[in-house]
Structure 1
Amino acid sequence: MKKIVFLSFIILIFAFGCVNIPTLPKLIPSDPEGVTKPSPASYTDFDFYLTIDKNPFLVPISVPDYVRLKINIPDVQNLEANELKVFEDDKAQGFLLFKETETRNQVDIMIVLDTTGSMYNAIEGVKNSVQNLIETLQASGLDAKVGIIPFDDAVPSKDITLTPNWLDLSDAGSAKDFVSNITAYGGADFPENPYAGIMYAFNNASWRASSQKIIILITDASAHYKSETYPGDAEGETLYDKDKVIDTIQGFVTVHGAFIPGYYYSSTDSEDFSAPEDPREIVVETGGIINYTDSSGNVDLTNIGLIEYISSSWIVAFESDSPNATHTIEVFIEHDGAKGYKKLENINY
């Protein structure tokens, strides 16, 4: 039988004042008995986003086998625990369900932006989209910071001149000023280095401990990667294979993608993003949203994982008692008469 987990919540005192932490239910229910796993074939009415969650809460949890999932259902503002069934390695789980904003009241967004010559026709649309996003964040009242990392074959970009050459998480005004000075130039061969851009953001941004952490990747190019035979113009640069990126950031950062259609990307592409040069798999594996701009780079970035995503995000918490090294997690949701299903495989806690 599972242990009963007690969560104690406190008021954190900061140098500039106090933050009241909403209280959550105080224990994880025991695993339900006699629950039969439904057939996924009957849970196809809607899609949702699911990933493992490893980010810290404002108050740490000391139980070593405490597991969290992050669920996002677009356009759904209210979700009840009795609308979910959660299975770990085919065993039904008792769990807590709560809005992510109840435990993380800050939002940190790093924009990883392709600034190469092939982006020339799209860069103004992209810049306008980023500016609109920043203005929306300002108007939302969220405690949000934005940073920007330009990239080409190198990270930060070596072919355009900016001072500084990237912007750490900053206030809205600084982010808007930085974006206004970005141009599109260089890049030489078609693939660029988005994997290094994502890792640079993950490793170097001044992420706040209790924030929701978001990366937005904007590009029209496929990726150079470490194990490719001929890295072209990325020779000598820091390179990563995609599986390394996923293993490192999964559970800590959600990556959303805005892809400019053209030679490599199309909104009619299949959902097989497993090719080593395709960064869309990173978006899928971190629970993010894939969107496509128009040919001029225009896209409503507020709809690809930010204001709406934040307000439609829940945390599922359960206590694992499985001895497996990796796990399969399945979530079944029935909401307003519609059913959805998602599965995570080969998950490490």
Structure 2
Amino acid sequence: MQKKIILVTVLLAAMQMVFAQNDGSQTSLFTEKQQQLRITAENVRLVPDTKNGGYHLYVKKTLNVNSILLTETTKDPAGKNDSYAYRAKEYNSINGDEIRLLDGKKLESEGAKYSLVDSTVEDTSFFGPAFHIYIPETIVYGYDWSRKGEVKIGKGTFINIRSFEKPYADYTGDYMDSPFMFDFRVVKRVVKKPAPKPAPESEPEPDPVEEPETILTDDYNPIASEKFKELSDDIIYSKGPETIIEDIKGLLENIEDKDNLDLVFAIDATGSMKNDIDKLKTDMYPLLEELFGGSPGARIGLLFYRDYGDTFKYMDLPVKVYPFTSNFTSFSKNLNSIRIYGKEGGDIPEAVYEAMYASCEFYSWRTTAQKKIILIGDAEPHPTPRGSGKYSKDYVMKIADSRKIKIHSILLPKD
């Protein structure tokens, strides 16, 4: 009887745990109670402050959330360094008087002033009760005795909305992190002209015009974004199959001496990339013909990567390598040879640095050519080197720099 009681207790405890991906670096366990604190994209809204700059962030009040705090999205992979809370540089009436607790005590130090925190719910026309935080154009984090810095809000800026069970961002209760990225989308709005006096006869409504709108999206892996930026001259936040061909075209169409181009596409071939690669299979050949059909000297290579333990293996690395070719039919055949069933890998750390090493070392780059790698993926590299232990960011960047190879990144939405 005692064994049965113990077993039931263990099962009940296990049933309260659910799997959820953390902020991109690893898979973590959260209780059902913590999951109820998660913030989703449909429950956040940004409103630009046209007078002072910055944005007003509204987060819908849900049953279990009683305060929110904006923090960094990334932290030390070893878990030794905390992610810091964001702060405004100066007082504002929206959040300047909000209370924040730590260890049961009100934080009143200079380093805690103007934290982007809210426990005071207000009524809104779109959410009903909602938390409200004013995010200035520039926010700060950290302390003089530790790491610190400033963040200028723009496309690609990540913030983490930390939601708390208790008011005042009190860590004595449960809390949950929900990372978001600032993004811009185009929406159509009807712009009405003021009627002149006296008013003429009625005129038809003007056609909608396209205007950019700033939104918060949880589509992208924040760790992957940070690491891709470290590797790249630039980073494109793709919408996936909807825009990936145009994203690639934007990186290549302005190259002047296309006959003197050596280019490698390094593509994540795990299950979450299936729809993106299917789009590449159908539309890459026409794009290459459009861009390089009149440049017989252009050479294109293709590399697929997964992770250690997957089926790929070339020179002890989890990659599949197709050499440079100027024959786009051959390139398309190689691209179409890959089979993805949706279960390979996942949105977990992948062998990104190994893929960059292989792209630099396993291709016969021409000495005088323009050398480019386009990295396409949705997951970050391993925080510490795997395999031989030498494939770190610094190691592969040193090789790329020595060969004068420029890396461009296209980050896809996490699946």
Settle same-fold status: TM greater than 0.5. Answer: no
If the length of structure 2 is used for normalisation, what is the TM-score? 0.33
If the length of structure 1 is used for normalisation, what is the TM-score? 0.39
Flag the structure with more relative contact order, 1 or 2, with Cα contacts below 8 A and sequence separation at least 6.
1
